[in-house]
Structure 1
């Protein structure tokens, strides 16, 4: 499942190749992928996607079950529940699983507190995902389910929400409060080939895929992979790393890896060595800034006076302007609602570990929609403010109060490419 920029698409394609090498058949793999990178004019290798500096093409042969406008929350949920009648477009493939089946779900996208990105509107909210997983369990159509999640603040999707007893083990790229990180980015070591102007992968995703590929044999359990990935994603506890988390039925991590990802017979006699598959990157890029890295590297490399340089400079300026608009609008709304001093406190408050982001998820969605009605799209960058909006709900703010504050904070509606007129509404 993917809906982000180049690195995330490459992660998903790589995951497919990994499962295929593990012996899984296409009929048992469902791929959601926006699919606008391989043949994009910005791709330096047309028709090819790579996920590491010296890696091969991970795009070849990937099924296009759900692409473009068919990558929606509704179709994703319908596929999980095996509900073909609820699909709108796509291949029609769903999880037609039974009570003895083991399910593996990998989701990669941009995210924010309590929310995951989609290329279409609306975004995916944590409470809705948990409801679907509970319905899947109630249907008795799986034995166990493992969920790998790559996104900023991805721990918030399960924190205080995913109960034990559903036979679901979830692991996330970060905790509920921090970013996840892109890797193999311009300026990093290892860096992408010189013709690339974007990150090639995400730190957590690359870690679990490269390490599982190395340890792809029957004696390895999920917990062993978890510790390897946790160590690598923390990046030596540097500022360029995040905390890999576990939620739900953690004892399922004792299950063998091959039960979910298949096994490579060539590795049947492989002896485990406790070290990472490759040298960890010296640094990484905050996943939320991956678009800026792309625009800036594009600008840096473009010839002086060229249309490409002018276009790249415009993209950088528009992205920065949008970020400033979202940040300043949210700060002003908080001050209007709570006062100058308490406003900042409300925006930055974090609930204790184990508590969900918000008590009333409908309130969160309503206030997000109200904000975007007056102030434009939050976009992937603005997802970080979901916690601020959740805190407003937890403090008792309702739609009418948000209406008044947002209308005062945003007296003109933005019309840039980041406007919700083009991006749609997040909720």
Structure 2
């Protein structure tokens, strides 16, 4: 790994494990909340699709009339049928003239949706000035894509496969739908782009440069069997199907059973992912809380000790040098330090055996005892000689 990657990884790890892992715990908690939210949406979609009736196009009108008499809300239904262009006349009579059908320029197939895209693929090296001795950094490449696409659509319907124009139909309303479409790729070609005189300079200095142009054409052909899931109602007496934002599917190649299996699998994955992320976040946040609580208590203890030490230093500073100047008889020396004169008497034993500084040090012990009689003491008092 290069020095830049090492520094970046070190920075990310320091941020993640700062405050004893609290940042990492918060990130995992956020991931857990997002996962649980997605699990709720997916389980709701699974319940709605599972409870939606799967009907044929011919039976859709009778179902809508029955639902209209029982409820005012438009039901969610699952319909499978073949794609056909919508006739231009009202009532969808097969005798009317059909609307313009799109024709693929590459394959010549008739379709109702044609999507053409051009993707420029750019190749980016680290550059001569950014190379390192690390082999993976030298050989590592990043590919970026810049895509421009156009889509043409015409109104279309779903009919009973093989029975049109004698069968009933349902209008597919694509307005406001952002769901993925079951398009078929009919053209896929990658054209290399010749290097220009500036390509070498761009590569040396790490600038991206195009290496290929990917042309694709995808269509929704006539006669393709697809499954539509959405809100169904009447539009001028004709059944119309609209997309539902709460559902992950609108038009799909999958059948209802395949959708249910896919959603059930995603629901289990999201559920266990949320449980794992939530458990890890709770454990890490709990550990970080305990650690920071202990650090805070230690900080308070240090502050208290510093305050006591400051009081001790202030008290001992009151002892002038003149009081202990000169020779001190052995019987008046402190029994602890054997350097200063005895100044403080312990309470309640009353022994005058320590200087003021050593007496305060003895008081600060966990279980303070007199150095002579070993009796537990409460405090000390300084004795002043008149």
Relative contact order, higher structure (CA 8 A, sep 6+): 2
Higher helix share: 1
Structure 2 length-normalised TM: 0.18
Structure 1 length-normalised TM: 0.17
Higher strand share: 2
